């Protein structure tokens, strides 16, 4: 039997799905697991050894600029042919959005997904043949585990889910040893922590003789990393942008991680790297780190978590994140490192 998992984006959402994949492999080892995902996230799906075939989609890349729109129909035709040729027994949309429900239909099979009260977009559930109720007030990892178990027909294994990622040994000789990793970037402007706070914390970490690695995933993130590293001995900006197994090796080699609500946070947690994570506009109870040895510092701003991608409550925005005190972050680092 064969199943197609549909989770197109984003980085963190892809990581959240891995424990459900591990459950499925342990409960139904007879089922071949394939995955439909945007091509930029395919290298991360490849980290899970239970996934057999990855179908990379280019819808996200073809959305901009508009001159690429004419290529979208051909991409849909290409994907549809590949998916129908695979003749899946199950198709499960793990995302619950129109942007995932519509491509799921390209497989030519009935699709299972969240029901109307459970889906992130209610309209998506109208495209499913089987709507499955899953409580919304639940961590995203547990929602995924319950959805897939109900769609296929097995009981969710007891206890915390296992990510089950495979990361090959190997170390970048250019990296310091040992090192911490600081994940300073996030997809929302409101999730960013003030750079002056970051610099103060980096100075405290390196004052004890530790090195800190700053990864980046875009020109803007690289520029921020370079500003953070100015005149602080022991802070190293990654030489290049990494993805998939290469990025996983760097993250897994860290003594500990510190950062924001981002895909890198979820990757570090999945790789069992102890972490300290700063949460402002988002709710750690729903999308926080899911794993062991993780510390969350949530904003005390009155409106947090406000779930706003932009903020005009105070000059400069970042109201939720500015309320996180650097001294609390340093104290959390000291507590974590004293245990190791």
Domain membership flag for residue 162? no
| Predicted structure pTM score | 0.92
Domain membership flag for residue 52? yes
**pLDDT tens digits for range 88-104:** 999 999 999 999 999 99
**pLDDT tens digits for range 205-259:** 999 889 999 999 999 999 999 999 999 999 999 999 988 889 999 999 999 999 9
Give the range among 143-152, 280-289, 306-315, 331-340 with minimum mean pLDDT.
306-315
Domain membership flag for residue 112? yes
- Among 100, 117, 152, give the residue marking a domain's end: 152
104/143 same-domain check: yes
Total domains in the fold of the chain:
2
188/140 same-domain check: no
Q: Which two tokens stand for residue 211?
A: 């090195």
Q: Do 159 and 142 contact (CB within 8 A), yes or no?
A: no
143/187 same-domain check: no
- Among 135, 152, 169, give the residue marking a domain's end: 152
245/117 same-domain check: no
Number of helices followed by number of strands (H, E) in the chain:
14, 12
Mean pLDDT of 134-159: 97
Domain membership flag for residue 190? yes
**pLDDT tens digits for range 111-133:** 999 999 999 999 999 999 999 99
133/188 same-domain check: no
Cβ-count burial of 19 within 10 angstroms (0-12 exposed, 13-18 middle, 19+ buried)? buried
Looking at residue 221, what DSSP letter applies?
H
Q: How many CB atoms lie within 10 A of CB 302?
A: 10
Q: State how far the Cα of 49 lies from the Cα of 269, in Å rounded to an integer.
A: 18
- What is the CATH number for 217? 3.40.50.2000
**pLDDT tens digits for range 54-99:** 999 998 888 888 888 888 899 999 999 999 999 999 999 999 999 9
Mean pLDDT of 24-34: 98
Asked if residue 170 has pLDDT above 60, the reply is no
For 248, the domain range is 179-339
Q: State how far the Cα of 55 lies from the Cα of 237, in Å rounded to an integer.
A: 33
90/223 same-domain check: no
Looking at residue 66, what DSSP letter applies?
G
| Mean pLDDT across the chain | 94
- Among 152, 171, 199, give the residue marking a domain's end: 152
Q: How many CB atoms lie within 10 A of CB 299?
A: 22
Give the model's pLDDT for residue 169: 65
């Amino acid at each position: 039997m064969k199943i197609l998992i549909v989770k197109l984006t984003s980085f963190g959402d892809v990581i959240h799905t891995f424990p459900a994949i591990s459950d499925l492999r342990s409960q139904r080892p007879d089922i071949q697991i394939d995955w439909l995902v945007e091509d930029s996230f395919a290298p991360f799906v490849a980290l899970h050894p239970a996934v057999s075939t990855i179908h990379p989609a280019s819808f996200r890349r073809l959305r901009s600029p508009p001159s690429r729109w004419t290529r979208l129909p051909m991409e849909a035709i290409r994907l549809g042919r590949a998916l129908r040729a695979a003749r899946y027994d199950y198709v499960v949309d793990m995302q619950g959005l129109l942007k995932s429900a519509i491509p799921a239909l390209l497989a030519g099979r009935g699709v299972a997904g969240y029901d109307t009260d459970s889906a992130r977009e209610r309209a998506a559930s109208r495209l499913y043949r089987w709507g499955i109720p899953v409580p919304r007030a639940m961590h995203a990892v547990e929602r995924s585990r319950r959805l897939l178990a109900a769609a296929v027909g097995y009981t969710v294994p007891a206890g915390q889910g296992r990510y089950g990622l495979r990361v090959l040994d190997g170390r970048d000789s250019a990296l310091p040893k040992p090192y911490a990793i600081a994940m300073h970037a996030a997809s929302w402007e409101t999730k960013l922590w003030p750079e002056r706070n970051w610099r103060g914390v980096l100075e405290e970490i390196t004052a004890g003789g530790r090195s800190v690695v700053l990864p980046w995933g875009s020109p803007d993130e690289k520029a921020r990393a370079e500003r953070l590293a100015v005149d602080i001995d022991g802070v190293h900006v990654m030489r290049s942008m990494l993805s998939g197994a290469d990025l996983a090796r760097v993250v897994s080699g860290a003594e500990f991680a510190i950062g924001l609500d981002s895909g890198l946070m979820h990757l570090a947690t999945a790789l069992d790297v102890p972490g300290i994570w700063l949460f402002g506009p988002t709710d750690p109870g729903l999308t926080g780190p899911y794993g062991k040895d993780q510390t969350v510092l949530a904003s005390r701003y009155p409106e947090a978590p406000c779930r706003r991608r932009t903020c005009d409550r105070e000059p400069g925005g970042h109201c939720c994140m500015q309320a996180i005190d650097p001294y609390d972050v340093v104290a959390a680092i000291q507590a974590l490192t004293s245990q190791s």
